[in-house]
Structure 1
Amino acid sequence: MKKLLLLFTFIFATVVTYSQDDDTTVQGVVVNASGGVPMESVNIVNLNQVKGTATNSRGKFELSAKVNDTLHFSYLGFKSIRVRVTNDWIKYGESTIELTELALALEEVVVNEFKLTGYLEVDIKQVPINNNYRYSISGLPSTGYEAGKSSNAITKVLGAVFNPADFLHSMFGKQPNEMRKLKKMKQDDEIRNILANRFDREMLTALLQVERVDLDEIVRQCNYSKGFIKTANDLQILDAISECYEEYKVLSRSRRSGRL
């Protein structure tokens, strides 16, 4: 009887310990390295658990994290940093994180000159037209794929739908955790809010562990136009990749079932 009681106590203690580990959080305050002033609305994402938050008006934050998780801190105009969660941080409480301001550089702006004649019929022809279209495919639940106007646009769209397997699998097939992260990113409201206000792809590359050029190539292979890639915010890019992958899986299952 005593042995059973000891065994039960050991199992209960183990379960409680694991439960506590799963519920651990880290707290901290983010400040400007140059003056120590607390920074509000700094974006913080746990790259391992795919959970996000932002600092409050006093620069403070609290985020779910475990030992060895990596937190990504970013703020417009400041150098982003990654911080590893340690036992001491969880055990002893709040930590101070410093962000360093970046030097701002203005990019050259090219202004295209339009020679207006004063006649609407003539002048309107000088306005550039965005020839991007979305093609829907019967049986798919989305609005379809986007492509530039050309004689073989439909062929390219269908090719992109049936072929992204090669590219997406080469990018994520060996890293299935990254594809699971896509779903987690779409489910976390805080991360979606962060991505909706970003256009630099930095958070996406950090979460998906890919280079910026590879990220753009993924979207391009899914037949989204250069205009979309250039102007879309990070959330739209995330949704584009996720939509492309999910649609590929639907078509892939249909093709396999057709062979049976």
Structure 2
Amino acid sequence: MNMKNWLPILALWFVLPIYSQTSEMAISGRVTDVWDTPIPNVNVLLTGTQRGTQTDEGGWFSLNAQANEVLMFSSLGYGSYKLVVPETGEELKIILSPMVTELDEVTLKKRRRKTQKDILAEFPQNTNLVKTSRGVLNKERSSSSFQVISGKDLVATGPDFLSSLMNFNPSMRVVRVPEVKVYLRRFAYSTYDSIGTPPKAIFDVDGFIQETAPTYLSAHDIDRVAILERNAAISRYGPMGVGGVIVINTKSTSQRDYSEVVKQYDNSALRDSLNELFIDQGRNAPIPPE
């Protein structure tokens, strides 16, 4: 056989090994986390190419690849992983570890609790604050709701400021004979006294408690008024507040400098009187403020 006849055979002998080394094969496997939980939607990409796939709900994937190509596995929240395609074509087991994100340093500052002195300093600007003989009440932070009326809204009509104050509380009733008495709402008979009369409201005027209505004040003298009823009154004033409390801050005391005044209030006596009052009536006493 001459040389010309051997050339096709030699060419075929060199081509076959090359073709066998570059042929693709099916690659399959499963991607899980470190707890063996399957990870869906993992991107499986052959590096340097546009070929790839994603894992299914069970973490399984399958694609065609050549031996010694590099597979890149990546998923949001996990670190990436590279793997050289083995020549044997066995099923692959890929484990991705969660990606640890380094957080910025955060400094926590302890918030100092405001003292009575701090609260009093805010009084001129904070219209939700009311000074009482039991400390300063804050409408926004109180566990019981109550009304706060600005003295600017009181109209100087009628015999006294109570006539204007009634417009802000529809349940309020004023009896002027033989003396001025204020009733804030209708009460059950169990709250009446021994002679069958409902409890009347008391007044806390610039830190001084009085049972008689301060009709000597005009609407122009008042800076703000707070109307406390039910739990709001009883939790603060005990049995004397059963009929409600009308707290009045006049303009003269509102302009006073309280920067050096710090009053401490002991609620132990109030708590005892509350327990006695509600035990007699078979009810649960509200908790006085600390």
Q: Which entry has the higher C-alpha Rg, 1 or 2?
A: 2
TM-score tier, shorter chain, comes to 0.3 to 0.5
TM-score with structure 2 length normalisation? 0.30
Higher helix share: 1
Higher strand share: 2
**Larger relative CO (CA 8 A, sep 6+): 1 or 2?**
1
